[in-house]
A and B are shown apart, each in its own frame.
Chain A
């Protein structure tokens, strides 16, 4: 079995949850900042995968953003969770908690 592929599918599936988590934790975050943390936890290998996700979450009304000048380089987009996004995030988190608890219980034996 292709373990690599399954692992990457798992990571991909949880990416949205983690993005929402990072933004919630910091209240506001810009992409490079989100990337740093995702890379640290090895959730993202290719930076480019983040941008479509952010845009999709924004278009779905989960995120809003504002522009801010950066001290160096181009202006940054600071993302923030909308009210709807916060609800969505809480729901996802609840599901994840249940799921991870269940999975841990089921696979504990080994």
Chain B
């Protein structure tokens, strides 16, 4: 199942599947990067947005309920990948003179950098360990164990965890979740739970923990 979002592109409201939205957004970001040094950058991108909107409009008029990934890909193919659109003369002077058959890298997905976020969908407390584990691509359980040991032996673990909890942002949007997992694609079904639940969750966990701690100390006495 795909979630459909409404986007406003060049003044038209377009229903588009979440997946497809990410793709078109990525394309526009790539274009912005491509034209960053250009004087008329904003205008060029605005014009391209207009064209995208026009093409989406045509697609919707032909009976599609919403724009999907294939539609977006078609539009991108029509317009051309971002790396192909930038100033031909500037590039002709540098690379293509020496190498005529140069293969240009495909821009899609290639620049997805990994970033540190807390993972709200796999967590014990704040999702810090799970986020760090994602970042370094290790098992979160191992990290939790290390933190737990540090917690009890030095007490630094506790402080470090709290600081990380405060400093590291939680991955909220689908894009952030993707950056967190290093470009791995997540469907919107994975992201259904929202922020409000985190607080509720935390409360339950907190209560549970304080109960367990109380049990633990009362047994000791």
Could you say which of A1, A2, A52, A58 has the most chain B C-beta atoms within 10 Å of its C-beta? A52
Are A73 and B54 neighbours in the complex by a CB distance under 8 Å?
yes
Return the contact of B88 from the options A12, A59, A72 (Cβ within 8 A): A12
Residues of B within 8 Å of A56, CB to CB, are 40
* Interface residue A100 (Cβ < 8 Å from any Cβ of B): no
Total A-B Cβ pairs within 8 A: 74
Are A48 and B101 neighbours in the complex by a CB distance under 8 Å?
no
What's the Cα separation between A82 and B51 when bound, in Å? 24
Return the contact of A59 from the options B39, B48, B87 (Cβ within 8 A): B39
Per DSSP, are chain B's interface residues mostly helix, strand or loop, or mixed? helix
* Interface residue B139 (Cβ < 8 Å from any Cβ of A): no
Residue of A nearest to B48 (CB): A51
* Interface residue A91 (Cβ < 8 Å from any Cβ of B): no
Per DSSP, are chain A's interface residues mostly helix, strand or loop, or mixed? helix
Mark interface residues in B49-60 (1 if CB within 8 Å of A CB, else 0). 011011001100
* Interface residue B11 (Cβ < 8 Å from any Cβ of A): yes
Residues of A within 8 Å of B207, CB to CB, are none
Q: Count contacts on A: residues with CB < 8 A to the other chain.
A: 25
Mark interface residues in B1-38 (1 if CB within 8 Å of A CB, else 0). 00000000011100000000000000000010001001
Are B39 and A47 neighbours in the complex by a CB distance under 8 Å?
no
Band of interface residues on B: 20 to 34
Are A55 and B50 neighbours in the complex by a CB distance under 8 Å?
no
Of the stretches B77-85, B142-150, B179-187, the one at the interface is: B77-85
Instruction: Say whether, besides A5-B96, A49-B80, A77 and B47 are in contact (CB < 8 Å).
Output: yes
B2 smallest CB distance to A (angstroms): 24
Are A2 and B101 neighbours in the complex by a CB distance under 8 Å?
yes
Mark interface residues in A2-19 (1 if CB within 8 Å of B CB, else 0). 100100010010000000
Are B35 and A73 neighbours in the complex by a CB distance under 8 Å?
no
* Interface residue A21 (Cβ < 8 Å from any Cβ of B): no
Residues of A within 8 Å of B84, CB to CB, are 46, 48-49
Are B12 and A74 neighbours in the complex by a CB distance under 8 Å?
yes
* Interface residue B153 (Cβ < 8 Å from any Cβ of A): no
Ordered by A's residue number, 18 sampled pairs between the chains whose C-beta atoms are within 8 Å are: A1-B100, A5-B100, A5-B101, A31-B51, A46-B78, A46-B80, A47-B51, A48-B31, A49-B80, A51-B48, A51-B51, A52-B87, A55-B47, A58-B40, A58-B43, A73-B12, A74-B11, A74-B50
6 tightest A-B contacts by CB?
A: A46-B80, A48-B79, A2-B100, A55-B40, A48-B85, A73-B57
